Amino acid sequence: MSDCNDALHELYEFIDGELTAERRALIEGHLHRCSPCLEAYDFHAELRIVVSQKCREEVPEALRRRIASALDAEPGGTAPA
């Protein structure tokens, strides 16, 4: 790992588990040695968790019906069940 820029550039891929084992090991090693990059990792990992939890809220049934009705009213539109 050459520097912080490399680690931070691949941070999201690291968090999402999209890197090769070799790249993952390099970034992991860098994070253990570099507290500013580790702080950035912690922030982004936590942010992903919060966003993921907030995006799981259920859509109210009344809103689903209104959207389905609007889709049915469109020319050639059929709302999904």
In tens, the pLDDT along 12-67 reads: 899 999 999 999 999 999 999 999 999 999 999 999 888 887 777 677 889 889 98
Pick from 12, 17, 11, 18: nearest CA to 36: 11
| pTM metric for this prediction | 0.61
Separation between Cα atoms, residue 27 and residue 33, nearest integer Å? 10
Architecture of the domain spanning 4-73? Orthogonal Bundle (1.10)
Angle in degrees, CA 33, 50, 28, rounded to 5: 20
